[in-house]
Structure 1
């Protein structure tokens, strides 16, 4: 049987030129941090824009829908950009598109236009898709092939760092700590009510202007820095595998389903974390943001701890154990009272940390030439982050703004992931 293998050819420098790759790797790692900031600031924007634009829960989740739908729609175009122009140009394009979306927050706030905010977030999502499509494989091949996994884990850890930093930034510069009930808003004069909304909306401008400037500056650095050019080639020159044909693998199909519900669950947990801490535990807005930062810390710690544990326990068993624990913690969040509700959500961050890469690895295991199209399916399945938070917001609105009831959605998601860890991961031998 003939197998197609890929050879990585580094044009500007050989694979032993470790120091030569240090600066490019640091630049690439900065991208992981930046898109982590974008995603984790969304958890601040959802409760904040809910106030500023006077939204219901379902409407507020359109923030997630805008970003993650962009991932779904841009996945294939991003791959085409990468194939046509290469890694460096793709990363520069991704940064500039990301920056454009950030700058659009200014007219959105000035006009108090939720639609413009959503357009800005969709554009940010498009930029993030291009960045992730190019930066992930670039970090993997930038150096010794035997250390590719270590490089990716190191780079990905900066997503966790962003999960800690973003809530602090949001708490200091975006969240005002002010909130009014609908009755209080109705009791205000039109001038006072509009002034309150405009003041809340205006607080997002400076953070996103600074973010946009930083993105443009990094794009300029990428443009002028001499990054190693990386090309891949097949030994027989023939592309193998097919997009729809990859789904003939039963365990890949289940992995796509599990990944859909995992991403949906993660976004649901963080999107309503602040409002859950306010309603379920009685915390004020800024204290809730502080606990969201602790959630990010636990997520990061969980990633390192899980990586260590995988040396002693099979990945599907650890995934099943973590999923079962997440089900129990979700139940505590739904039926508990006081600070225990927030503690349960923070702990979920720890146990969710290994789910995405574990599901991904189990899904593409043993599928040979279908690995690339299979990976594309798994990336596209993150559209769960666009759909399930909207379902959660709808459930909350239908239950008289009961945030705790909404966490039934993540609970069901973890049950599906649990099934994948117990049975769905198994390769069907023919």
Structure 2
């Protein structure tokens, strides 16, 4: 009895996953019909380029649309298999030449074109099979029950047999329903898994592509780091030349003049010495400010938690600061970058966001130090307008980190940074 109960329960246990598989294949079959439009559109763009040259600006946008369409299906396949995939962020650069170079140097372009052919052919067939499996049993029941409504010269058919009486309707209907259920329970799930795995295999970069993309990313980030470093050196030199050096020159001139007139006019010499002392104090203050921009001393004295608390206390906008209890050992470069991100974000919020409150979260995962700054301001951050985000992005990229900005019009603005610091 227990064995028969288990056998009876098996199809019921398979049904939810079988239905999900069938719906996935049906959705894929439906999108395969839409994908039929892709080859004609690409052919039209190619003809316009060859004949008139007018289609040249359209090519990058056409292939960008293909990329988004394929990534959508890659996400569907990943969700069906229960795996996680990361969608690469490849923003289109400005300028037609740069866009064309960006498009045709994309190593995934041949794979996407191959996926189009596979999705249209086998994908459409798999979708039709899934639809037949879903409608097999209900269609057999309805057809077997209503066979008598069909004209005698055009009877309904079940399992390829004409149905003209109830015994044929019952036997053929049962056989067709059982076939549909069997296909749904035992045929569609492996077919859906095969389709999803094929989609992921076609739309996932190979190891060589990943290595090439990694090298390209590192090249860009290192170039950005070099540029940021050069700009930082120029700023430090400018600050020292225009500020500290000028004060030291004035200090030396006052001391020299005071030495020459010490015997003739002691009062004037004393006044010059007092001015020189004030100038020396101002020069030391400016020098400390310059040093603080290189590596804030507070980081060495109080660590990142104390430095972030100091930034929050000095902010003109109320800041709610949450720092993890144990950040562990954080490299000095990572600490400095995190400090810079918090300081720059608070400054930007005070200057541009019209915010009334800021939330700062600092946490540690096994591999990353994460910093999150959220303000309730007006939003609409535009990196191209010198918002300071570009400088943060260069600093973060130099450490192989990631920076994500979310700032819709009307707010809020969120800046999230992940800096690798695994031991």
* Structure with the higher fraction of residues in helix conformation: 1
Q: TM-score, normalised by structure 2?
A: 0.21
Q: TM-score, normalised by structure 1?
A: 0.21
* Structure with the higher fraction of residues in strand conformation: 2
Larger gyration radius, structure 1 or structure 2 = 2
Higher relative contact order (CA 8 A, sep 6+): 1
